[in-house]
Amino acid sequence: MSGRGLFITLEGGEGVGKSTALAHVASRLGDAGVPLVTTREPGGSALAEDIREVLLAVREEPVDDLAELLLMFAARAQHLARRIRPALEAGQWVLCDRFTDATYAYQSGGRELPARWVQQLETLVQGELRPDCTLLLDAPVTLGIERARGRGDLDRFEREQVAFFERVRATYLRLARESSGRYRVIDAGQPLSAVRAQLDVICSELLACENGDRQ
């Protein structure tokens, strides 16, 4: 494949099914012969995974909101330098579980930090790079929390109040309306078979676009 690979991100609140969806999309694209890197944020490189541990750990000392925002972007800078940019430049597709839209949703929406701080850091850390396509898995907050709780111990974010997650969800839905060309919203409250069917349609569209570009 020539040229830069596609950069696809998966977003959504807690427990909506992003990891499950990512595995399905990766398998569909892999079957179609797409050279693919799957990864996640915060994390995706050794150092960024260390920062993830720091961010998700439940601790006595309250975490300052600005410190949290800066740690998210520190992890992202490393992830971009070590994994995402090299893969895209080599023509591979990158499928990433969360990216900067999560920072808008959680640190600006959830924590209520100014969105312009996120924008400034986005420009500094990413330059022009933005996802080509973002799959937003959307479901009622209580459903996602129920699914997340079914998995056991809760991390520092999963322990937030319902009102926090309602702000996260509202921010994601606003981003999807404002960037409707890039976003595909999936009703993640449906049974897995229906979610998979929606994902299959999106994969076919992405593959058709990419094949069209190459002809």
Q: Which of 7, 157, 164, 183 binds ligand LXEULUCI (CB under 6 A)?
A: 157
Enumerate residues 177-206 that contact ligand ATP by CB under 6 A: 188, 191-192, 195
193 labelled binding-site residue: no
Site string for ligand ATP, 62-101 (x = CB under 6 A): ----------------------------------------
Q: Which of 103, 126, 134, 198 binds ligand LXEULUCI (CB under 6 A)?
A: 103
Answer for the pair 134, 11: CB distance below 8 angstroms, yes or no: yes
17: burial class by Cβ within 10 Å (0-12, 13-18, 19+)? buried
14 labelled binding-site residue: yes
The structure tokens listed for 183 are 């976003």
15 labelled binding-site residue: yes
The structure tokens listed for 30 are 């892999």
Q: Which range, of 1-9, 99-107, 139-147, 196-204, touches ligand LXEULUCI by CB under 6 A? A: 99-107
Q: How many residues interact with ligand ATP (rule CB under 6 A)?
A: 16
H or E element at residue 91: none
- Which residues are within 8 A (CB) of 28 and not within 5 positions of it... i.e. 6 or more apart? 199, 200, 203
At residue 92, the 3 state secondary structure works out as coil
Q: Which of 10, 25, 51, 72 binds ligand LXEULUCI (CB under 6 A)?
A: 72
Of 58, 6, 42, the C-alpha closest to 182 is 6
Site string for ligand ATP, 15-54 (x = CB under 6 A): xxxxxx----------------------------------
17 labelled binding-site residue: yes
Q: How many CA atoms lie within 13 A of 207 on its CB side?
A: 17
Of 98, 90, 82, 102, the C-alpha closest to 36 is 90
Q: Which of 37, 41, 138, 164 binds ligand LXEULUCI (CB under 6 A)?
A: 41
User: Interface residues with ligand ATP (CB under 6 A)?
Assistant: 12, 14-20, 147-148, 150-151, 188, 191-192, 195
